[in-house]
């Protein structure tokens, strides 16, 4: 007998499950269709053991992801304490998540939530109409013609670095090429996007970024973390690092607002943008979020790409020599310009190959907003989906000699037959990197300028290992000696 005044246990359970995606994900993880909508597609295979036994930020984490993809296929389920994640490794999945079905995936994930702690609601972390409006405002700053105008500044910065390297090469001192690249790309990001040179603060910015990356990863890796407002030692470190970057960025905005500095750059566009309906401009908070986003997204990634390129070249002397010869042939003794880019073809392919093996962004996370079927497997709403450049870029199913550094694989005749999305260092679709064109140009010009005069030799005996934080840095930098090769 049931009493109509009281809901049945089943309807209470059903309502609870409807209201809570995580409860539903958990029930579905057990193979139970909590909403009883008919037979369910099976859950993807799941490796034995716990996915979080390999700490974040270690090479083993990368290796583990690769191994489970090789062992269990293109769709793998990973059970975390309060979350089910799925690693999708097929290029078709890249196309589906980032392009065809992008509306069915959100950035409401723990990863982006944690990034929002310091990036706020800028272009990388925002969504929906708000993101679209901000992207439209920022897009003209990245137009091809406008970017070409940045070439001379980029070459000047690289040539200055080349000059500063001369005495250091002569003395044979050890130089950390990772931090040199960080300083250089910071100057370039500042000059191109903000018409300012914050590279005097590069040390502070680099240190603050490293703290942020580590703290963000620690938060992502722990089953439970105290709210960021609690004054724990880790939270204090996170807040101090954010405040340090805030001070630098807000100072830039303040100087521009007061008209002490003018610029024909992204910051000026953001400052002048007006809401079509209200006519209101962006407040300092939103400006800060956008500037911080471009600042960080733009320099850390490019710096890692260049650092890994020098590392790979040091292990492939023939390719390094050919690269130097290309720079000599194309540039002679004059500075590079935007017009040289097509002729610097090996330089372009070297960078492309370097970002295949060491993708500066090695993983992307999304959350499906509805239940989906991927290759006959059930991917529940509210769970997590990972696409990993590290895995897909090195997967033997897609690449011949996947671990080999082979810039010639990017020659047109050898590219035939590649899947359009087996290589996605800049993501794809509407949320593709807005700075991809700038990054590619910057990489080519910096590499040609430095390779024209230098060979980088990492200190012997130093173990160079990728550290998968938000971006892929070499753990402990890249201590090296510099060798002049005019």
Positions touching ligand HEM (CB under 6 A) are: 123-124, 135, 189, 193, 293-294, 297-298, 301-302, 305, 360-361, 364, 425-427, 431, 433-435, 438-439
Q: What is the closest distance, in whole angstroms, from the C-beta atom of residue 65 to ligand HEM in the complex?
A: 16
Q: Which is nearer to ligand HEM, 17 or 478 (CB)?
A: 478
Q: Which is nearer to ligand HEM, 77 or 393 (CB)?
A: 393
Taking alpha carbons only, the member of 91, 123, 174, 114 closest to residue 431 is 123
DSSP-derived secondary structure letter, 285: H
Q: Which is nearer to ligand HEM, 298 or 474 (CB)?
A: 298
CA 258 to chain centre: 33
Q: What is the closest distance, in whole angstroms, from the C-beta atom of residue 43 to ligand HEM in the complex?
A: 26
Cβ neighbour number for residue 300 with a 10 Å cutoff: 25
Cα-trace Rg, the chain: 24
Taking alpha carbons only, the member of 428, 430, 348 closest to residue 387 is 428
b/e code 402-418 from CB counts within 10 Å (16+ = b): eeebbbebbeeeeeeee
b/e code 446-481 from CB counts within 10 Å (16+ = b): bbbbbbbbbbbbbeeeeebebbbbbbbbbbebbbbb
Q: Which is nearer to ligand HEM, 162 or 435 (CB)?
A: 435
Q: What is the closest distance, in whole angstroms, from the C-beta atom of residue 410 to ligand HEM in the complex?
A: 15
Q: What is the closest distance, in whole angstroms, from the C-beta atom of residue 421 to ligand HEM in the complex?
A: 13
Q: What is the closest distance, in whole angstroms, from the C-beta atom of residue 101 to ligand HEM in the complex?
A: 15
Q: Which is nearer to ligand HEM, 193 or 450 (CB)?
A: 193
Residues 6+ away with beta carbon under 8 Å from 262: 195, 256, 268
d(CA 349, CA 63): 25
Q: What is the closest distance, in whole angstroms, from the C-beta atom of residue 435 to ligand HEM in the complex?
A: 2
Q: What is the closest distance, in whole angstroms, from the C-beta atom of residue 12 to ligand HEM in the complex?
A: 38
Cβ neighbour number for residue 27 with a 10 Å cutoff: 17
Q: Which is nearer to ligand HEM, 26 or 426 (CB)?
A: 426
Q: Which is nearer to ligand HEM, 119 or 169 (CB)?
A: 119
Q: Which is nearer to ligand HEM, 17 or 446 (CB)?
A: 446
Q: What is the closest distance, in whole angstroms, from the C-beta atom of residue 354 to ligand HEM in the complex?
A: 10
d(CA 325, CA 254): 46
Q: Which residue's CB atom is positioned nearest to ligand HEM?
A: 435
d(CA 376, CA 354): 34
């Amino acid at each position: 007998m049931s009493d109509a005044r009281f809901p049945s246990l089943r309807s209470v359970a059903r309502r609870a499950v409807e209201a809570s995606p995580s409860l539903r994900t958990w029930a579905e993880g057990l193979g139970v269709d909590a909403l009883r909508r008919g037979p369910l597609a099976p859950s993807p295979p799941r490796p034995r053991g716990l996915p979080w036994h390999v700490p974040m930020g270690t090479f083993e984490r990368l290796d583990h992801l690769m191994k489970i993809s090789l062992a269990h296929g293109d769709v793998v389920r990973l059970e975390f304490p309060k979350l089910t994640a799925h690693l999708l490794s097929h290029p078709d999945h890249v196309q589906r998540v980032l392009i065809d079905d992008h509306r069915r995936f959100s950035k409401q994930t723990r990863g982006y939530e944690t990034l929002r702690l310091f990036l706020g609601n800028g272009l990388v972390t925002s969504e929906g109409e708000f993101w679209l409006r901000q992207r439209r405002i920022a897009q003209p700053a990245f137009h091809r013609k406008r970017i070409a105008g940045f070439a001379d500044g980029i070459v000047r910065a690289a040539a200055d670095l080349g000059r500063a390297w001369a005495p250091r090469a002569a003395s044979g001192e050890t130089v950390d090429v990772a931090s040199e690249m960080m300083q250089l790309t910071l100057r370039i990001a500042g000059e191109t996007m903000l018409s300012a040179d914050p590279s005097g603060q590069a040390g502070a910015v680099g240190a603050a970024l490293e703290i942020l990356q580590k703290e963000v990863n620690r938060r992502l890796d722990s089953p439970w973390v105290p709210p960021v407002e609690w004054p724990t030692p880790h939270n204090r470190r996170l807040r101090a690092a954010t405040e340090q970057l805030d001070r630098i960025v807000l100072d830039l905005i303040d100087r521009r607002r007061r008209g002490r500095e003018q610029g024909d750059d992204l910051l000026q566009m953001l400052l002048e943008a007006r809401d079509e309906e209200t006519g209101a401009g962006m407040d300092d908070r939103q400006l800060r979020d956008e500037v911080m986003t471009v600042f960080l997204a733009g320099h850390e990634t490019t710096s890692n790409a260049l650092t890994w390129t020098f590392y790979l070249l040091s292990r492939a002397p023939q390719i390094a020599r050919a690269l130097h010869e290309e720079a000599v042939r194309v540039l002679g003794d004059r500075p590079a310009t935007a017009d040289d880019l097509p002729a610097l073809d090996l330089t372009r392919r070297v960078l492309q190959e370097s970002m295949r093996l060491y993708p500066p962004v090695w993983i992307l996370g999304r959350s499906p907003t509805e239940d989906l079927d991927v290759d006959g497997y059930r991917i529940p709403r509210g769970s997590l989906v990972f696409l990993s450049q590290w895995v897909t870029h090195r997967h033997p199913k897609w690449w011949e000699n996947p671990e080999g550094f082979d810039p010639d694989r990017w020659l047109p005749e050898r590219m035939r037959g590649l899947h359009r999305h087996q290589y996605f260092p800049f993501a794809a679709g509407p949320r593709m990197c807005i700075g991809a064109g700038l990054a590619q140009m910057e990489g080519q010009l910096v590499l040609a300028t430095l390779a024209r005069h230098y060979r980088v030799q990492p200190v012997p005996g130093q173990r160079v290992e990728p550290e998968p934080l938000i971006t892929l840095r070499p753990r402990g930098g890249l201590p090296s000696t510099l060798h002049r090769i005019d």
